[in-house]
Chains A and B, each alone.
Chain A
Amino acid sequence: MSATRPKIKARPPTRPRLGKIGESVPRSDGTPKVMGEFAYASDLHAADMLWGHTLRSPHAHARIAEIDISQAVGMPGVHAVLTHADVPGRKTYGLEFTDQPVLAIDRVRYFGEPVAVVAAEHPEQARRAAEAIRVVYELLEPVADPERATEMEPLHPDRPTMGHGYRDDPRSNVVRHMVIRHGDPETAGDVTVDGVYEVGSQDQAFLGPESGLAIPDGEGGVDIYVATQWLHVDRDQVAPCLGLTVEQVRVHLAGVGGAFGGREDLSMQIHGALLALHTNRPVKFVYNREESFTGHVHRHPAKIWCEHRATRDGRITCVRMRILLDGGAYASSSTTVTSNAASFALGPYRVDNALIESTSVYTNNPPCGAMRGFGAVQTCFAAEAQMDRLAAELGIDPVELRLLNALAPGDYLPTGQLIDGALPTAEVIRRAAALEPPAPEGFPRDPIRLPGGAGNTTRGAGVHRGVGFAVGFKNICYSEGFDDSCAARVQLYADGSATVHCAATEVGQGVTDVILQVARTELGTDRITLAPHTTATVGSAGSASASRLTWMVSGAVRDACRAALEEQERREGGEVDVERVHHHRPTTPLDPETGQITGERAHVALAVAAMRAVVEVDIDLGLTRVVWVGTAQDVGKAINPQAVHGQIEGGTAQGLGLALMEEIQTRDGRIVNASFTDYLIPTALDMPPVTVVLVEDPEPDAPYGAKGVGEPPAIVSVAAIAAAVRDATGRALTRVPIRADDICL
């Protein structure tokens, strides 16, 4: 039998498609990714390279009595077997507190925690050597229930989270406890609705697993090529653990296969560098899928208790909320997630009186940290469910109720911050509410377009349609006094062409094109080259996080381009090379006792989105199908409208996943569904068409008026889809992801 190969059509030559600000520019990484030509971090290669492997804890909580590497070191192909004893510098690292061991020291606090690393000629040799390391564990009772964490033995007896200017809390295992007291929280209303809501732990589920390559420079330093979100902060965390200066560590961006917050914390960076310096050979790591689920932080599971009080005519008088976030074994960015959850807990509504208490705790569950939406996802789900309950209680249309209370410039956040930027809440509500969903499709129809989809479970029996509406908002840029900046460097040549350097990480969001569009616009030329993203040639760009990068990069590249033009003019031609650092306006911390602002603001700016979702639910089987989503989003100014649409669709897909299927399941702290067989993310058949309205209300302080757009869709979609399923089923559905059992049992 002879195999016939399908003819692959030659790709039409791609003309560079250029564009300035406001024009839709096809993503420069789009074609290579679709053609399979994009080099991801997992494709990295260096001559003479070794393969790294991580030995991970099989227990969620245990004391390490002994680590015996003697057998592993002698195995074929093995060049190094390292434990905590081999970490030459600081033994711990972390984004907010250095509470996480590079390699476990005397105890392991979560399932999958790194205990030792191996470098060998072949990945399989490295894996087998890791298996041959004998670790004697003495099992400890895992702190698995966040509601009981404060009564259990402290997991970090040295309290690394204390004394950092946050509210002191004597209870054990508290990462951060914050209270926002606003107006008079005892204020009553004519009606009160309460509810308790839960959000499961979502995974970023990026397709490109953690990978990178560390190359010793022969002079004691190291170059790390890695898929990450913030090159400079990686460097700043890596160097002290290696006992090196930051100049001796250079971090370069390798092809990123998705991030969504999951690459803010380190994965292989220190391990790879340790092994590379130890063996004086390049060392590559690629996690497999199962390892990836333990190799990065997740979205915080949450439990939220709410009480909303309002007048008969629908004005909210007071909200009381208690938020509990399971931070898992290490702090990661839990403190900021705690604060964000609290800051945006009320939704984009005018509320004069509130008491919000937000706590994150240490447990032996998988560590949680940054994920798209960052605390606001959890509270939006709760707050919007409360708004619907209030609407039902008052007999007011849910959209009307939201309009009646819509937050606007001139109003105050519960932290006492005056909203002085753009926040078109009422407009996004009106625009989203005005979108016409498609008319219900009749029967018979292809089961693929019914709940249950390809499963062929219904021809229409049990199918109910439901419509949900939600509004969500959050901050843009880092908050609470963080001195955030972004650097860009422009080499402008005599012939008018230019090279732009910026360490902003392209994680698939399209920042590359934002940089190029700004440079084209400012320099008035298409002849622009973007230099590799690295710490070696330019200052920090900050993180691809907090919907901040478009704003910060636009400011830095704009400033550097303008400075370069000025400089060139001053010198009357020739080549110039300038670097500029852009800062957004400053913020200050919140008062630890009252949660009120201590200066003018704790947050830089806000962005809001409204969404209407239509679902069909098979109420007998508990199966769902999202039929259509219509959304209006406040984007300030769309630098690349096509990419903004992409972000909104992608964010909606991720929110749909959390609403209907995505959850990291644990038993006593151990992940039991660490695979794409059992951790399900939406497929093309689960994703509805999305009608998008971009509301362009320029942010006065932002370069070109542009706001970040990545997070709002992931926040609002969870709430909107859950509301639609409630509408279809008539059930309370206070937990996401909504399980079939919740609907039909």
Chain B
Amino acid sequence: MEVLTPRSLDDALRLKAELPAARFVQGGTDVLVELNFDRSRPAALINLNEVAELRGFLRENGALVLGSGLTYAELMQPELATALPALAEASRTVGSPQIRNRGTIGGNLGTASPAGDALPPLLVESAQVEIASVRGRRALPLAEFLVGPKRNALEPDELVVSIRISPSGSRQTFMKVGPRNAMVIAVCSLALSVDRERGELRAAFGSAGPVTGLVTAPLDEAERFPAAVAAAASPIDDVRGTAAYRRHALRVLTGRALERCLA
């Protein structure tokens, strides 16, 4: 299989336009598993690791622009962890140190798994996904970007450049349930924020529906919020857990998250 390594964003977009059946690869922690298990045989790989425009982050008019090549290890560094604490907590739950050093936020969006751990905190923070192709640029709210289980709104020639967030500064947290104490795919997960500015409770759950789901409520409905989050989920029984457990756990997690964020 051919591996192409563009050195700039323009080159990457051009290659993808020429070879829409090629797959982007950043950390490779999803793509290489797929290849090894023979779940996909892409025409070629486009390695984004040398595209400087995707790395790092910058501040723009109070907003944070996170490069899609940011790794979980980078998201856990103090500057970003202070601005986006739930995302940093979520990053810490991801895989092992090796995976956190390689896995990227762009890859998490690319895979768009309902279990993607970066997704609930981004959803709670109303993240915008910034997309580019040779045809131009566009931005989509994350909720519109995630269209189904492992399906996103990208066209075949498009690439995720960055994620734009205006940090709410609200109290927030992330929790993830798994049957062992590290290196698990979420049985279910929850990001929650108490956004006093907007007067809103915001919660997003993972692994409890076809896509990461967002639930909001007025601040004064905290008491009913755990039940509301559990009711909003549409979990299934699978090898990792039962629907009943997932709903129950979401209720418990929401209660605990509220306690943390209202304290």
Contact = CB atoms under 8 A, between A and B. Distances in A.
Nearest to A672: B239
Interface string A621-658: 11101000000000000000000000000000000000
A559 B177 CA distance: 56
A683 interface: yes
Query: What is the predominant secondary structure among interface residues of chain A facing chain B?
Result: loop
Interface SS of B by simple majority: mixed
Contacts of B185: 677-678
A665 B52 contact: no
Interface in B206-263: 239-242, 244-245, 248-249, 252-253, 256, 259-260
A458 to B, nearest CB: 7
A130 to B, nearest CB: 12
Interface stretch (A279-287, A396-404, A409-417, A448-456): A448-456
B177 A620 contact: no
Contacts of B173: 456
Contacts of B179: 623, 660-661, 680, 739-740
A677 B249 CA distance: 21
B180 A745 contact: no
A745 B237 CA distance: 15
Interface of A: 1, 288, 290, 448, 451-459, 461-462, 620-623, 625, 660-661, 665, 672-673, 675, 677-678, 680, 682-686, 739-741, 744-745
Contact of A745 (B37, B89, B92, B244): B244
Contacts of A459: 256, 260
B181 A621 contact: no
Contacts of B241: 740-741
B176 interface: yes
Interface of B: 36-37, 50, 52, 89, 92-93, 96, 173-185, 187, 239-242, 244-245, 248-249, 252-253, 256, 259-260
Most buried by A among B240, B241, B249: B249
Contacts of A457: 175-177, 253, 256
B37 A741 contact: no
A678 B179 CA distance: 10
The 4 closest A-B pairs by CB, nearest first: A453-B181, A455-B176, A685-B182, A685-B181
A456 B175 contact: yes
Contacts of B249: 621, 740, 744
A740 B245 contact: yes
Residue of B180, B182, B185, B253 ringed by the most chain A CB atoms within 10 A: B180
Contacts of B184: 455, 680
B259 A686 contact: no
B177 A686 contact: no
Contacts of B177: 452, 455, 457, 621, 623, 740
Contact of B182 (A620, A678, A683): A683
Nearest to B174: A456
Contact of A453 (B52, B89, B180, B256): B180
Given A454-B92, A461-B256, A678-B240, A622 B180 contact: no
- Name the residue among A453, A461, A684 with the largest chain B CB count within 10 angstroms: A453
Contacts of B176: 454-457
Contacts of A745: 244-245, 248
Contacts of B244: 741, 745
A744 B180 contact: no
A71 B252 CA distance: 57
Contact of B93 (A455, A672, A677): A455
A554 B52 CA distance: 62
